[in-house]
């Protein structure tokens, strides 16, 4: 994602930097989730104090601070010209005062650029993890989608986003089902009421101006009254004609993985494009299966253990923030 957004290569899958980058980001996500739920505590300065104490006490945090500063320096020097290499180059140029129209200042540039890069990288990571996990556990989906993709492309073919890939109904159904069970941003999404007369819910509960209202799309997407067999991986639910029309339309209406309104995810369409290319590329170029050893964290359990498919869930951590955290699945690949 750093390459796509900023024109940089972090090489974190191979570099030993991952030994301090990911643990520090994990801790940051826990803090971020806490401040999102208790903004009044953060407003007292507790967030800044916690960050300072962590920097003093943790060698990993200090290494991360140096790594992140180097990351920012490279991002700005790579994208401080009009033909910047990443899609976020306009944000950087605005933050550096190089844009003709006013926009972000430097602090906003750093916040927006860093948040967007790391949060979107997490989204793509969990979408690929979910794809591998569920196709290994649901072989009929693997066979059906694999047969379709392999009838269109050969190993080594260049796979790009075009009408041919976009028209695959079953590929999009698989992507939707992965995002339903593993929402790219699974935390609670808060919105502030800005005008009087707003009500929510069937009981029309009034919301006063200035109040915050939040909901979890993770919980919404597992609501049995909307999604039949809510924890079962079943891509066919997204294909017209599988479900009664009324049930299908309700599920489709309530499926908003990138949210709605002016604060929805700006990269939603790009996420679908990248997932489509990644899924097709993996299926065309590799056979894969689960490895003999999988890590099952003892402190994570299903919240719907009686539902069909619960035993095959991909379980992950969420700290009431954007990202999800998971070790695995561990998958064996064989080139085709």
Which residues are annotated as part of the binding site for heme?
Answer: 265
- Cα separation, 39 vs 326, in Å, equals 26
Q: CA-CA-CA-CA torsion for 123, 128, 132, 135, nearest 10 degrees? A: 80
Q: What is the DSSP string of 222-291?
A: T-TTTSSSTTS--GGGGSTTSS-HHHHHHHHHH--TT--STTS-TTHHHHHHHHHHHHHHHHHHEEEEE-
Give me the helices (H) in the chain, please: 2-6, 18-37, 39-41, 47-57, 59-78, 89-95, 106-137, 139-152, 163-166, 169-181, 217-220, 245-254, 268-285
Cis bond leading into 329, ω under 30°? yes
Strand partners, 317: 325
Contact 30, 325 (CB under 8 A): no
Q: How many CB atoms lie within 10 A of CB 326?
A: 18
Who contacts 149 (Cβ-Cβ below 8 Å, separation ≥6)?
168, 171, 279, 280, 283, 284
Q: What does the alpha-carbon distance between residue 178 and residue 127 come to, in Å, rounded to a whole number?
A: 7
With beta carbons less than 8 A apart as the criterion, state whether 172 and 238 touch: yes
Task: Give the CB-side neighbour count of residue 52, counting CA atoms within 13 A.
Answer: 5
Q: Summarize the annotated binding site as residue ranges.
A: 265
């Amino acid at each position: 994602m750093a390459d796509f957004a900023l024109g940089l290569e972090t090489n974190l899958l191979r570099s030993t930097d991952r030994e301090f980058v990911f643990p520090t980001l994990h801790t940051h996500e826990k803090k971020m989730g806490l401040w999102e739920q208790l903004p009044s505590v953060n407003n007292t300065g507790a967030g800044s104090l916690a960050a300072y104490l962590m920097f003093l006490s943790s060698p990993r945090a200090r290494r991360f601070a140096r790594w992140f500063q180097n990351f920012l320096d490279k991002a700005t020097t790579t994208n401080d010209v009009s033909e910047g290499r990443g899609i976020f180059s306009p944000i950087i140029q605005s933050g550096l005062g190089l844009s003709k129209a006013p926009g972000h200042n430097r602090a906003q540039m750093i916040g927006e650029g860093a948040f967007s890069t790391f949060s979107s990288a997490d989204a793509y990571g969990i979408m690929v993890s979910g794809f591998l996990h569920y196709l290994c556990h649901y072989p009929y989906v693997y066979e059906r989608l694999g047969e379709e993709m392999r009838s269109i492309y050969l190993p080594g073919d260049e796979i790009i986003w075009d009408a041919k890939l976009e028209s695959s109904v079953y590929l999009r159904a698989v992507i939707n089902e992965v995002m339903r069970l593993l929402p790219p941003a699974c935390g609670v999404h808060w919105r502030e009421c800005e005008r009087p007369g707003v009500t929510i819910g069937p009981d029309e509960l009034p919301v006063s101006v200035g109040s915050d209202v939040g909901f979890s799309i993770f919980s919404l997407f597992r609501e049995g009254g909307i999604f039949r067999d809510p924890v079962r991986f079943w891509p066919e639910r997204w294909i017209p004609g599988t479900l009664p029309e009324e049930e299908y339309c309700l599920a489709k209406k309530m499926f908003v993985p990138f949210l709605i309104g002016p604060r929805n995810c700006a990269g939603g369409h790009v996420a679908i494009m990248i997932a489509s290319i990644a899924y097709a590329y993996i299926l065309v170029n590799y056979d894969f299966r689960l490895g003999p050893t999988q890590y099952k964290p003892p402190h994570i359990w299903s919240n719907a253990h009686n539902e069909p498919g619960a035993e095959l869930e991909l379980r992950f951590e969420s700290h009431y923030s954007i990202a999800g955290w998971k070790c695995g699945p561990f998958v064996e690949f064989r080139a085709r």
